[in-house]
Amino acid sequence: MTVVPTTGTATPVAAPVKRRRLRFVANPKATTGLVILGFFALVAIIGPWIAPYDPSGRSNDLLQGPSAAHWFGTTHLGQDIFSQVVVGTRSVIVVGFIAGIVATILSVLVGVTSGYLGGAGSELLSALSNVFLVLPALPLMIIITSTLPETSTLTIALVIGLTSWAWGARVLRAQTLSLRGRDYVEAARATGEKTWRIILFEILPNLTAVIASGFVGTVIFAVTLEITLAFIGIGAGGDWNWGTVLYWAQSQQALAQGAWWWFVPAGLAIALLGTALSLVNFGIDEFVSPRLRGGGKTNVKTADGHTVRMRVGFTPVLATKAGPEGRETP
Amino acid sequence: MTDAVLEIRGLNVDYGLGEDAVHAIRDVDLTLHRGEVLGLAGESGSGKSTLAYGLTRLLPPPGVITGGEVLYHPDGGDPVDVLRMDHAALRRFRWAETAIVFQGAMNSLNPVHRISTQLTDVIKAHDPRGTSAARLARARELLHLVGISADRLESYPHQLSGGMRQRVMIGMALALEPKVVIMDEPTTALDVVVQRQILRQLVELRERLGFSVVFITHDLSLLVEFSDRIAIMYGGRIVEEAASADLYRDPLHPYSHGLLNSFPALRGPKRELTGIPGSPPDLRGMPSGCAFHPRCPHAMERCGVEVPVLGVPPDKSTTAHVAVDQRSPADRTVACWLHPVHDDGF
Amino acid sequence: MSYLLKRIVFYVFTAWAAITINFFIPRAIPGDPVQALITRSRGQMTTEAVQSLYVLFGLDKDASLAEQYFSYLGQLLRGDLGLSFTYFPSPVSQVLGDGLPWTLGLVGITTVLGFLIGTALGTGIGWRRGSWADALIPVTTFVSSIPYFWLGLIAIALLTGPDSFFPASGAYDNGLVPNPDLEFIGSVVQHGILPAFTILVSSMAGWILSMRNMMVTVASEDYVTVAHAKGLSDRRVMVGYAARNALLPNVSGFALSLGFIVGGTLLVEIVFSYPGLGLQLFQAVGAKDYPLMQGIFLIITLSVLLANFLADVAYLALDPRTRREG
């Protein structure tokens, strides 16, 4: 018996029903996440226009705290931090999504192929994704980017995308392996259906949730990695992002000078974006695996006024007399 | 033989709360007598498993018990209501008085612990004073009881076959010599040969140890063979209850009739297999009146309007006006307008 | 035991892959980084040191790629990773030797502790699902989204200062000489608390969430219902039945995400100027110190592989089904 260790998403993927799609949008966690995400996407698009100052433009307000003129204060050069954070949103979102898309395409290609085809090639692909999985991402990224002649937002996004597909590929492979044995797939194969048609019409639709969750996971990973790289000084040329803001705060000893406003807003923005993405992923997890769903009320009131918590192993008893429709007991 | 060991009165079980609640069990009255095998049959969704989980209070959320009593009669003591027990009392009661063998032995055993651990931890939980050597000896004895050699004690569940695992579960159920053993489709996942071996062994053990069994299955022919009395469930209610021989010979409820005809009989005269047209009702949208009427070949106008009352059919009972709690196993009850019950004041 | 053997083969393969990446990447660096260093050192470098850097960077134009590869492997086997530009003229291996113990001590201990504490908390929250403990989940989600280094910055801003017990940087008091006496150890602990706390808080959050979800999933398994039906104590059901099984995917998740966690924890060193590999990596990036960067990549990769292997051994001990395999 082989044990395929997977986390959260390793639940049977039943044939999706239309009605369930709506339920995903109705999931409060997913909705909250999507709303926050929408906000950041909007800022990413219109950021350069709504930013009050040029993020690199210097002024005479050196190292000022938050004020009406500078909401998030200014840097040692008098740059407006609010503008830096607003303008920097675009780079963060772009890297997240490009890396997410690249990595998702790769993980689907590698994961589904190795899960469906089997044989030596499959084992090889699986080994390859495991190698990429255990290699420590940050040092690997550092030595790769250090050789690049120039690093733009796009190259950073591509490098992250090309190196972070392994987790998704692993989960997809496990799921594909289990789907391959299903009756309807076996039946399609027995009737001589073409392989690419089976994968496209029988396998992929049932992997939608897993792919989506992998995509969101990769976006979280890519955003964190981009910001981290920028923080240690491997950044996208002249582009601002939240990591660059923190890099300057760190290298100019913002802490020692008590300039908390320099690093707090960017950090909170990262955490907020990360939380939003996690919430979307929780929504997907609960959608796929109903056991995780909160299921509304978990505390119930009994007839004699006590509150009991619903839990496995001890079914709450609301009333010990006969129920509302019950007959009288002698 | 006639005194009750477990009495279920007016049990109601819901899934969910308030507006969204689905009524899974409605007003179920059922009595298990000392030493008997009571069969509980019905299609999937009829509520038979919910009843078993409900009366032991093992129903997972969002299941809630909305009313009723489950009276357990200990030897020579006053009856206790399982539904009124607090958690500590319930823990003491479980397994010591009522053990359960669940559907699918595959997942009933903890995959990471040895068989010995899983047999002894329950003994230790209920009798912390015993020595571990005594517990291990008892575990060996239990395996022997169900025909498994003692060297399997150190095995992990994945090293046993499906049939062996189910035997281990039966052995485990008998660990504390309970008065009641509830079996929820205990043999469904096994092949027919193993299934009958295990059931025969169970009957033998019951004769030797004298416990009562609630046997739940969708396979009515199996019940006819192995149980003393049978209760048929449909749409969360009991629709007929009778001695197995009576039920087999002369099912009163059209549903029981249909159910009997959907399985090949192993003994007795051959019947034509017909099955029941349609599918079991959705608990969310239960038909009005008798839940079975949309599928019933004998449905009358009244069936769609009024819920038939479970009671002693006038044309079949030897003594009319027998109160529900005094009936003997020979008596039978049915809830169908084809056999209208004498109005006992309601 | 063939399970372990399979894993060992895999780790050896991965180590080889990492070494090979390390071989090819410097060959893509534009320009001649070594020449720049030689010019800067004005003849202070020995011929051997120059030769070693040439092998490392593939500047040996006469040799074929295969020859270059084998002399590179041979050099690695001797522990020769070239000279560090930043710590010139120290060899990279010596620089790594200085940094590794600090990183192992800080990152190693806190990563494992974070996993253990997070898993324990997740067990409790998952088991008491629907109780007040659920209120911790949104907080935990938020904390798990905060980059490690940023939390470190906040910790420094809030908890350090002229009068604070916690020093804001370094691994021990500068006035002390490293030797195993009580004063030095005390200073190391005092300096370590805040970085350790930072890593603990951020790494715990993820494990709380994943263990909580696994507990919720496992709680509806049949064997847990059976355990309840057996009348076992709540503790026994929670620990011996639910958590014991929920732990398995969490352990393999731990092994798989080590490579990622280590990256995050290294940054905490930068924030606290903690003299481990993370800080060295930061300095190497700033100074374009390629030999040091590569050396750090290699040593971190090998450590992660070793840690992965240990996690595999733990998994093997925890899951009897794996033991039977093969």
Nearest CA in chain C to A293: C216
Cis peptide bond upstream of C178, omega within 30: no
C208 domain residue, yes or no = yes
Only one residue has tokens 């001695």, namely B243
A323 contact residues in B (CB cutoff 8 A)? 10, 12, 26-27, 66-68
In angstroms, what separates the C-alpha of C179 from chain A's closest C-alpha? 30
Tell me the pLDDT tens digit for each residue of A107-153. Answer: 999 888 888 887 788 888 888 888 888 888 888 888 888 777 777 88
| Mean pLDDT of the residues in chain B | 83
Please tell me if residue B84 touches chain A, with a CB cutoff of 8 Å.
yes
Q: Which residue of A has its CA nearest to B7?
A: A329
User: Side chain identity at C46, as an amino acid letter?
Assistant: T
Q: Is A315's CB within 8 Å of B53's CB?
A: yes
pLDDT band at B329 (very low <50, low <70, confident <90, very high): very low
CB contact under 8 A, B91 and C231: yes
Using one digit for the tens of pLDDT, what is the confidence trace for B229-273?
Answer: 999 998 889 999 999 888 888 888 888 888 888 766 555 555 556
Q: Who's near B73: CB < 8 A, 6+ residues apart?
A: B3, B4, B5, B6, B7, B79
Which residues from C are below 8 Å from A309, CB to CB? 130-131
User: Which among A250, A271, A292 has CB closest to C217?
Assistant: A292
Please, which chains are in contact with A (at least 3 CB pairs closer than 8 A)? B, C
Please indicate if any CB of chain A lies within 8 Å of the CB of C108.
no
Query: Rounded to the nearest 5°, which phi and psi values hold at B70?
Result: -125, 100
Chains in contact with B, where contact requires at least 3 CB pairs less than 8 Å apart: A, C
Cβ-defined contact of C14 to A131 (cutoff 8 Å): yes
B169 CB neighbours in chain C (<8 A) are 226
Minimum Cα–Cα distance from A291: chain B residue: B61
Q: What is the average per-residue pLDDT within B129-137?
A: 91
Cβ contact (<8 Å) for A324 and B10? no
As for how many domains chain C has, the answer is 1
For C249, the closest of A6, A149, A270 (CB atoms) is A6
Residue B180 clears pLDDT 90, i.e. is over it: yes
For chain C, which chains pass the contact test of at least 3 CB pairs under 8 Å?
A, B
Contact B112 C245 (CB under 8 A): yes
CATH number (domain holding residue C225): 1.10.3720.10
Is the CB of C244 less than 8 angstroms away from the CB of B113? Answer: yes
A329·B10 Cβ contact <8 A:
yes
Stronger pLDDT, B293 or A11, i.e. the higher one: B293
Confidence category of residue B94, pLDDT binned at 50, 70, 90: very high
Residue C294 lies in a domain: no
Q: Which domains does chain B have, with CATH numbers?
A: 4-334 (3.40.50.300)
Which residue in B92, B93, B110 is closest to C223 by CB distance?
B110
List CB contacts (< 8 A) between B26 and chain A: 323, 325
CA distance, residue B2 to nearest chain C CA (Å): 27
Chain C positions in Cβ-Cβ contact with residue A170 (cut-off 8 Å): 256
Cβ contacts of C233 on chain B, cutoff 8 Å: 91, 125
Residue C30 and residue C59: Cα distance in Å, rounded?
12
- Asked if B58 and C227 come within 8 Å (Cβ–Cβ), the reply is no
pLDDT at A295 over 60: no
Look at residue A291 in the predicted model and tell me its pLDDT.
Answer: 65
- Return d(Cα C270, Cα C169) in angstroms, integer: 9
Which residue is closest to A311 within chain B, CA to CA?
B61
**Better-predicted residue by pLDDT, A94 or C145:** A94
CA closest to C26 among chain A residues: A147
Domain residue limits at C282 = 94-288
Q: Which of C229, C241, C245 sits opposite B58 (nearest CB)?
A: C229
Question: Which chain C residue has its CA at the smallest distance from B109's CA?
Answer: C223
Q: C225, B96: Cβ pair inside 8 Å?
A: no
Is the peptide bond prior to B62 cis by the omega test (within 30 degrees of 0)? yes
Q: Could you read off the pLDDT tens digit of each residue along chain C, which spans 326 residues?
A: 577 888 888 889 889 988 888 888 877 766 666 666 666 666 666 777 777 777 777 666 667 778 888 888 888 888 888 777 777 778 888 888 888 999 988 988 898 999 999 999 999 988 887 767 777 778 888 888 888 888 888 888 888 777 778 887 787 877 777 777 888 888 888 888 899 998 998 888 888 888 988 888 888 888 999 999 999 999 999 999 999 999 998 898 888 888 878 888 888 888 888 888 988 988 888 877 888 888 888 888 888 899 888 888 888 888 888 775 43
- Which residue in C130, C221, C233 is closest to B107 by CB distance? C221
* Pick from B12, B33, B31, B81: nearest CA to B325: B31
* Among candidate residues C294, C267, C278, C263, the one with its CA nearest the CA of residue C92: C294
Q: Tell me the pLDDT tens digit for each residue of A156-196.
A: 888 889 888 888 888 888 888 878 777 778 888 888 788 88
- Which CATH number applies to A23-311? 1.10.3720.10
- Euclidean distance between the first and the last CA atom of chain A, given in angstroms as a whole number: 56
Interface test with B, best of C226, C238, C239 (most B CBs within 10 A): C226
- Kindly compute the dihedral angle of the four CA atoms of residues A192, A196, A197, A200, in this order, to the nearest 10 degrees: 150
C163 burial level (CB within 10 Å; 0-12, 13-18, 19+):
exposed
Question: Residues of chain B whose C-beta is under 8 A from some C-beta in C?
Answer: 56, 58, 60-61, 87, 90-96, 99-100, 102-104, 107-113, 121-122, 125-126, 156, 158-159, 169, 172
Burial status of residue A121 (CB atoms within 10 A of its CB: 0-12, 13-18, 19 or more): exposed
Q: Report the alpha-carbon distance of residue C130 to residue A310 in Å, rounded.
A: 8
**Nearest residue in B to A310, CA atom:** B61
What is the 3-class SS of chain C, one letter each residue? CHHHHHHHHHHHHHHHHHHHHHHHHHHHCCCCHHHHHHHHHCCCCCHHHHHHHHHHHCCCCCCCHHHHHHHHHHHHHCCCCCECCCCCCCEHHHHHHHHHHHHHHHHHHHHHHHHHHHHHHHHHHHHCCCCHHHHHHHHHHHHHHCCHHHHHHHHHHHHECCCCCECCCCCCCCCCCCCCCHHHHHHHHHHHHHHHHHHHHHHHHHHHHHHHHHHHHHHCCHHHHHHHHCCCCHHHHHHHHHHHHHHHHHHHHHHHHHHHHHHHHHHHHHHCCCCCHHHHHHHHHHCCCHHHHHHHHHHHHHHHHHHHHHHHHHHHHHCHHHHHCC
Chain C contact set for B108 (CB, 8 A)? 222-223, 226
Residue B68 tokens read as: 């009723």
Question: Does residue C282 sit within a domain?
Answer: yes
Of C18, C251, C256, the CB nearest to A133: C256
d(CA C265, CA C278): 8
Q: Are C3 and C10 in contact (CB under 8 A)?
A: no
Instruction: For residue A30, list chain C residues with Cβ-Cβ distance below 8 A.
Output: none
Q: Do B53 and A330 count as a contact with CB atoms less than 8 A apart?
A: no
Residue C314 lies in a domain: no
Nearest residue, CB atoms, C318 vs list B60, B112, B126: B112
Q: What is the mean pLDDT of chain A?
A: 78
Q: Is residue C1 part of a domain?
A: no
**What ipTM does this complex have?**
0.86
Least confident among A40-44, B194-198, C63-67, C233-237:
C63-67
Domain locations in chain A? 23-311
Burial (0-12, 13-18, 19+ Cβ within 10 Å), A52:
exposed
The predicted structure's pLDDT at residue B328: 47
**Residue-wise burial string across B239-248, b where 16 or more C-beta atoms lie within 10 A, e elsewhere:** bbbbbbebbb
pTM: 0.83
Long-range contacts of A96-99 (CB under 8 A, 24+ apart): A96/A219, A96/A220, A96/A222, A96/A223, A96/A226, A97/A219, A98/A154, A98/A157, A98/A158, A98/A161, A99/A157, A99/A158, A99/A160, A99/A161, A99/A164, A99/A218, A99/A219, A99/A221, A99/A222, A99/A226
Residues B340 and B258: beta-carbon distance below 8 Å? no
* Yes or no, beta carbons of B107 and C228 under 8 Å apart: no
